[in-house]
Structure 1
């Protein structure tokens, strides 16, 4: 049985990190200071390390010759199986659109606090401006401001939470999200083929897929060794697309063999990661991976994240093609809407939310 969710609480403007940074640039309130075991420490590989997440060239999968396509497909298979993360290049999204979404996102975060607070993230929800996944007065906060919006299907949107400033924000999100949706559909087709499944397996199964966008702004922090930009977690999505802001500090880290590996931005590439839902569907062959964000003493960071998942009405479980004597069923069947509710009403704690679907042994 799933644990009873903690009661969500309000996090007021007093905890807005941009305002904290503005008013007391050298002060780190206790609410942000992590316990020793959670702090970013030396268990992170150096940025100069050759340990880098794989890069997938989507154009080779779509338009390459037979040898190129097969080689890239094998690389995609190993990326999903061994890393759960990869960066995709030649993805077909115009550089001008990537730049436009970064500009409106940054323009929003630079607005006065009273303007941003017109779109508050209500307790127990994940849409609007503020802190998500906060359920107790003594829970540590992430050194991050975020704006999260439901995009598709339309009924999940809350129009009151779509900012009217900057003027082109809504229009740009619509265009960007449409392009990212096509990318997700393309990637899932190739992911299906990499598993020897019919190409449209996920597209047909997902129904009208759920899509949400979240913009994260991480101000500089005088003591980056004491805080986290975003708590360690895996995503509840099928796949997640992350755009790292141009010129931002390196902040994304993934847990690989119990070591935190920083993800070096590649110009105009998008970072893709496997979510819990795809781990369940592949019966653990492709695993969602724990990741976190750290802060920088002098530089800020912007990221734009898109979550892509099945319709809330869909019942999910491991695909029969991926269950056999050597790979017994690891997850139960469940309603995706129930899992989504469970995910957003629990704290970010590594991969703990996936316990919802695991079969007890």
Structure 2
């Protein structure tokens, strides 16, 4: 059976024991898939707690730590997220919104079906996102996303039901650095 698309591959998946040749990497050796080297878990922020009076301070501290130390977190009801990130990073209210007022928004939908031999196929290569924030929805229980921590270890992003994964992009990282006090200022 000749399969020409990922959708056809998915339909045939229950009958497949290996990946068809046209979907394999054209290299001599299999890809080196990063192996998680830490038992740490990606931080999770509950947006309903963040937005509620009285209990928001603890979640705000979690959000601050996630943005500053991880650059990624999962959030659960996500409206108003950028404003909370501004507050957590001690930026002025609506400062990011003003800077991004005429900015480009885009959506990319990438479908990764379950794979019987993931080490032989290519998803996305390790990269940073050249955005303000990236919001991911992981569906169908297909994992595989890993992030590299500041200490160089790889941590898997475990899929939480009804949660979105939020990555701090390069643009927000640069903006955040511009708003932090200089060591010379203290």
Tell me which interval the TM-score lies in, with the shorter structure as reference length.
0.7 to 0.9
User: 5+ unaligned residues in a row in structure 2: which ranges?
Assistant: none
User: 5+ unaligned residues in a row in structure 1: which ranges?
Assistant: 1-13, 93-182, 284-317, 328-361
Alignment match, 2:74: 87
CA distance in 2, matches of 1:31, 1:228: 8
Equivalent of 1:267 in 132, 150, 161: 161
Are residues 1:197 and 2:186 paired? no
Are residues 1:63 and 2:52 paired? yes
CA distance in 2, matches of 1:226, 1:326: 50
Alignment match, 1:254: 147
Alignment match, 2:174: 280
Alignment of 1:132-211 (within 5 A): 183=79, 186-211=80-105
C-alpha distance after superposition, 1:71-111 (max 9, x if no partner): 1111111101111111112x26xxxxxxxxxxxxxxxxxxx
In the alignment of these two chains, the number of paired residues is 178
CA distance in 2, matches of 1:35, 1:83: 35
TM-fit CA distance, 1:70: 1.5
Pair 1:35–1:18, CA change in 2 (3 A): farther
Alignment of 1:219-234 (within 5 A): 219-234=113-128
TM-fit CA distance, 1:50: 4.4
CA distance in 1, matches of 2:111, 2:124: 10
Pair 1:56–1:30, CA change in 2 (3 A): closer
CA distance in 1, matches of 2:28, 2:176: 35
TM-score, normalised relative to structure 2: 0.80
CA distance in 2, matches of 1:198, 1:87: 23
CA distance in 1, matches of 2:172, 2:106: 17
SS at match of 1:272: strand
> Contact 1:282–1:322 at 8 Å: present in 2 too?
yes
Alignment match, 1:238: 132
Are residues 1:73 and 2:60 paired? yes
> Contact 1:240–1:275 at 8 Å: present in 2 too?
yes
Are residues 1:39 and 2:28 paired? no
> Contact 1:40–1:227 at 8 Å: present in 2 too?
no
Pair 1:19–1:204, CA change in 2 (3 A): same
Are residues 1:322 and 2:180 paired? yes
SS at match of 2:59: helix
TM-fit CA distance, 1:16: 3.6
Alignment match, 2:42: 53
SS at match of 2:42: coil
| RMSD across aligned positions (CA) | 2.9
> Contact 1:243–1:271 at 8 Å: present in 2 too?
yes
Alignment match, 1:177: none
> Contact 1:56–1:87 at 8 Å: present in 2 too?
yes
> Contact 1:34–1:228 at 8 Å: present in 2 too?
no
CA distance in 2, matches of 1:278, 1:223: 36
